[in-house]
Structure 1
């Protein structure tokens, strides 16, 4: 499905090129409507759901809602015409339309140093409008109910796919998992020794976090960061991370899992979204997204009653640089 949608996005670029080029908005922004369904145009206050991909001139996709599986949601703001604002293009679109927008990079940065990923002359956006709910004369209550029902429909479809994705991942990897009553799945690949963590103990781990599609989002193992093509964070010491299982702010799956493993254990965790970031998501983790962690428990540290309490580090999180456009 994702490959088909990305193909349509690329086809839209080609179609725009064949249909007479781009119209100019000003400020280095140009657009070409690749598919015009001819419906009512989007107006201020309307609910809009759309999918998008953002590319540079080197044909590299920098962001894509297709990869995340969740569309962008917005209420159409008031837009001043002729300023080159991308949102102005939406006022020319209707439900079902597709458009290619490109922005001149030099106009965007205005003489400042370019980010390395911005190569060539343009940033190119390919946008497909999936749904428009016109505000019109509807009361706020009625309008909000319709909008929320549409979003819930999307979320219900994504939620229904999650257990299927987890089951497929386990089958494809031929994992022999243990499943706890909460739904946490794990396979121990190397059994450790010694006692399990006691209340108040700290656990020291190496970790690598990926999605079920294999794309990585965080690790404290530098070699894995390189392998997964994650940005190398100069502030990351790439050393074991220490934390107390169940500490405030930790995802429930981590709080449960690290009471089960002793020193030296290597384990793969498959954490369902209800034990991770749930229906809200977090940064580049979309709603109803299961997470996979490959873990090595380096040590279990018993607290010294005479020592000051150690500073607790947060659990591994997604790199903010990978944060997508969110609803």
Structure 2
């Protein structure tokens, strides 16, 4: 009985070790993809060429120097899956990952930097691998992605109205579809096209994420009506006076529209707190 128990426990331990090793082993595919899964997702949807994949990514050199970190930028990457430019590319590895997967993809530094015609940077030695640490957030077909974007576009006005009622109950809705809350009255004449203005600002997404701010830096200075800023800013400033501080809730058609920009997703209404420091 004792011998049987010891044998059984030994088999369980060996089996557990085998599963553990398999779970964290580095896999190499025929297309040259080399990756290690850290956490499995749903396993149902594997990315195919032409699909749209949204993911967070940290790129590290072999010595752990960080080249890219979308977590710090608060800007996940959204891109179509395509065949890699070289064997063992990151693009190829995406076709072996599922929604929810976390993995480290190992990409030949020689192939990567040769492809972009750049010398190996400090900390990256010949024959070493770059580490692409990726977390797949979602995988959509092109049709699914386009449908989701269309729904977001069509629902934007209602989303803005509900958000404004909850967060800016005293806001005035302008003829352009913006919402305005005056925090501090200005003085003098209303700003007109051609005037040079100096403005302090903070820009936020509707989820509260700050994507840009001049606070702690220099205020932005430009001429109104010259296309130097988004249309929502142009229209907002031509309602303001010197010294005024206001919040403007701007629809995406007066901001970055269907393309988005950097950390700003497509069809995103934006919240700007703006203060006119000077008018010339």
TM-score normalised according to structure 1 size: 0.60
The 5 A counterparts of 1:156-235 are: 156-222=150-216
RMSD: 3.8
Q: 1:29 to 1:111 in 2, by over 3 A?
A: farther
Q: Which of 267, 270, 274 in structure 2 is aligned with 1:291? A: 270
Correspondence for 1:262: 241
Shift of the alpha carbon at 1:274? 0.8
Correspondence for 1:9: none
Question: Does 1:253 find its partner at 2:255?
Answer: no
Q: Which of 70, 87, 105 in structure 2 is aligned with 1:63? A: 70
Question: Does 1:77 find its partner at 2:87?
Answer: no
Q: How many Å separate the matches in 2 of 1:168 and 1:128?
A: 27
Shift of the alpha carbon at 1:287? 0.8
What are the superposed Cα offsets for residues 45-92 of structure 1, whole Å, 9 maximum, x if unpaired? x3112232235899xx9426xx76x973415225544xx322222343
Correspondence for 2:96: 92
Question: Does 1:54 find its partner at 2:33?
Answer: no
Q: How many Å separate the matches in 2 of 1:54 and 1:277?
A: 24
Q: How many residues align?
A: 238
Q: Which ranges in structure 2 are unaligned for 5 or more consecutive residues?
A: 1-18, 114-119, 125-129
C-alpha contact 1:202 1:242 (8 A) present in aligned 2: yes
C-alpha contact 1:274 1:288 (8 A) present in aligned 2: yes
C-alpha contact 1:165 1:212 (8 A) present in aligned 2: no
What are the superposed Cα offsets for residues 222-254 of structure 1, whole Å, 9 maximum, x if unpaired? 1xxxxxxxxxxxxxxx23322222212431111
Q: How many Å separate the matches in 1 of 2:107 and 2:139?
A: 28
Shift of the alpha carbon at 1:175? 4.1
Correspondence for 2:218: 239
What are the superposed Cα offsets for residues 87-116 of structure 1, whole Å, 9 maximum, x if unpaired? 2223435xx6553321469968966259xx
Q: Which ranges in structure 1 are unaligned for 5 or more consecutive residues?
A: 1-15, 115-120, 133-146, 223-237, 302-327
Shift of the alpha carbon at 1:164? 4.2
What are the superposed Cα offsets for residues 26-61 of structure 1, whole Å, 9 maximum, x if unpaired? 99942338243388x83xxx3112232235899xx9
C-alpha contact 2:193 2:225 (8 A) present in aligned 1: no
Shift of the alpha carbon at 1:214? 1.6
Shift of the alpha carbon at 1:276? 0.7
C-alpha contact 1:47 1:73 (8 A) present in aligned 2: no
